[in-house]
Amino acid sequence: DADVTQTPRNRITKTGKRIMLECSQTKGHDRMYWYRQDPGLGLRLIYYSFDVKDINKGEISDGYSVSRQAQAKFSLSLESAIPNQTALYFCATSSVRNTGELFFGEGSRLTVL
């Protein structure tokens, strides 16, 4: 089983719908991240969390919210999806002892029509 699991892996939805992408990890890491990947733009940070009570906005947090339900779970929500949120979303984890090295999930491809 993957250490960092994202669900769903693929999702097609319509404009205005609420969408939640979930991430769970078995690595025991304290830090979790959500990134978005668009062709030609690399990966951009949406939100990150250092522990359950510590949530931080990244470069492109507008239109997104997150919830850190437990150390192992970090979900990303789109309250009202729009077409330009169509992208590949990655969850990642890291340990404070392995500063900066991220362990990525397999990605969630979201299409907003």
Partner 1 sequence: AQKVTQAQTEISVVEKEDVTLDCVYETRDTTYYLFWYKQPPSGELVFLIRRNSFDEQNEISGRYSWNFQKSTSSFNFTITASQVVDSAVYFCALSGSNSGYALNFGKGTSLLVTP
Residues in contact with partner 1 by CB under 8 A are: 31, 33, 35, 40-45, 48, 50, 56, 58-59, 88, 90, 92, 94, 99-104, 106-107
Q: Which is nearer to partner 1, 24 or 47 (CB)?
A: 47
C-beta separation of 22 from 75 below 8 A: yes
Taking alpha carbons only, the member of 73, 38, 74, 80 closest to residue 59 is: 38
Q: Give residue 84's Cα distance to chain centre.
A: 16
Query: What's the min distance (Å) between Cβ of 103 and partner 1?
Result: 8
Q: Which is nearer to partner 1, 9 or 14 (CB)?
A: 9
Query: What's the min distance (Å) between Cβ of 43 and partner 1?
Result: 4
Query: What's the min distance (Å) between Cβ of 16 and partner 1?
Result: 28
C-beta separation of 53 from 60 below 8 A: no
**Local structure of residue 85 (DSSP, 8 states):** G
Query: What's the min distance (Å) between Cβ of 9 and partner 1?
Result: 10
Q: Which is nearer to partner 1, 15 or 39 (CB)?
A: 39
As a dihedral over the C-alpha atoms of residue 104, residue 20, residue 16, residue 43, rounded to 10 degrees, the angle is: -10
